[in-house]
């Protein structure tokens, strides 16, 4: 079967760095996605990792270790607008282009 | 428009009624997905359309749920004889197709409330 786990909630302060972890079990593997979802809004794409290592994109970076079934999203120089839910997701049964299996999301609260 | 469009944005209906939710994907996107998101739960896959292939219906929770996609574009999700547990946000997404790294683009969803 497939399973994606991530912490339910995290808190941090403006300007800080936060790391949101995700562990997954899939029958196959075809990449891992991170999405951001502000309350009441649609999820928006942040990153995609298919190879081991760190992918940096401005203040956000995403890391993948396929051997450990582990990923994290790193947010630097936190801003209030980063308060949102962060969703880790993987293709169902590792098949490219199919629907995604999502974790329940990590709600990040950034305070001043 | 440039994004995925869903209508209505909100729907309140009585238990037992049928509802239809509409999704207009991004032009040129061959793949279309329906998910639902209940309070405190992750996004749950419902159904997936890819081009002219038979849809993957394996996520539909019961036979009260059905969906179609006409002309490879607009899709409607129908829930018959609605129950209170059907209350959720129904999200539609589209992507360029069966390519690994193509992200799914989501609409703003339809918030369905069953009284």
Q: Give the per-residue pLDDT at B27.
A: 92
CA of A33: which chain B residue's CA is closest?
Answer: B103
Residue in A6, A31, A97 to test binding to B, most B beta-carbons within 10 Å: A97
Please give the pLDDT value at position B4: 96
Show Cβ contacts of residue A81 under 8 Å, excluding neighbours closer than 6 positions: none
For the stretch A23-69, pLDDT in tens is 999 877 778 999 999 998 999 999 999 999 999 999 999 999 999 99
Residue that is written with structure tokens 């944005």 in the block: B9
What gap in Å lies between CA B28 and CA A82, rounded to an integer?
Answer: 31
**In this predicted model, what pLDDT tens digit does every residue of B80-111 receive, in sequence order?**
999 999 999 999 999 987 676 789 999 999 99
Among residues A36, A48, A42, which one has the least CA distance to residue A82? A36
Of B12 and A91, the one with more pLDDT: B12
Q: Write the pLDDT tens digit of every residue in B19-28.
A: 999 999 999 8
Q: Which of A99, A104, A105 to mutate to probe the B interface, most B CBs <10 Å?
A: A99
Nearest chain B residue (CA) to A97: B98
Long-range contacts of the stretch B58-62 (C-beta < 8 A, 24+): B59/A99
A104, B41: Cβ pair inside 8 Å?
Answer: yes
Q: Of the candidates A42, A45, A102, which has its C-beta nearest B103's C-beta? A: A45
What is chain A's alpha carbon radius of gyration, rounded to the nearest angstrom?
A: 13
Tell me if A90 sits within 8 A of A5, measured CB to CB. Answer: no
Q: Closest Cα to residue B92, out of B80, B75, B68?
A: B75
How close A32 gets to chain B, by Cα (Å)? 9
């Amino acid at each position: 079967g497939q399973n994606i786990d991530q912490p339910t909630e995290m808190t941090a302060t403006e300007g800080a760095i936060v790391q949101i972890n995700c562990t997954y079990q899939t029958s196959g593997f075809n990449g891992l996605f991170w999405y951001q979802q502000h309350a009441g809004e649609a999820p928006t794409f942040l990153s995609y990792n298919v190879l081991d290592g760190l992918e940096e994109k401005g203040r956000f970076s995403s890391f993948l270790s396929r051997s450990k079934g582990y990923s994290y999203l790193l947010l630097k120089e936190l801003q209030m607008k980063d308060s949102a839910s962060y969703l880790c997701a993987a293709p169902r049964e590792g098949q490219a282009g199919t629907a995604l299996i999502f974790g329940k999301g990590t709600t990040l609260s950034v305070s001043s | 428009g440039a994004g995925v469009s869903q209508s209505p944005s909100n729907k309140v209906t009585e238990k037992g009624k049928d509802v239809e939710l509409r999704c207009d994907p991004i032009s040129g996107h061959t793949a279309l997905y329906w998910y639902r998101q209940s309070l405190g739960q992750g996004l749950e896959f419902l159904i997936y359309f890819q081009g002219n292939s038979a849809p993957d219906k394996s996520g539909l929770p019961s036979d009260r749920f059905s969906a179609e996609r006409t002309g490879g574009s607009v899709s409607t999700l129908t829930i018959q004889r609605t129950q209170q547990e059907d209350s959720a946000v129904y999200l539609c997404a589209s992507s360029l197709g069966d390519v690994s790294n193509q992200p799914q683009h989501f609409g703003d969803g339809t918030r369905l409330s069953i009284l």
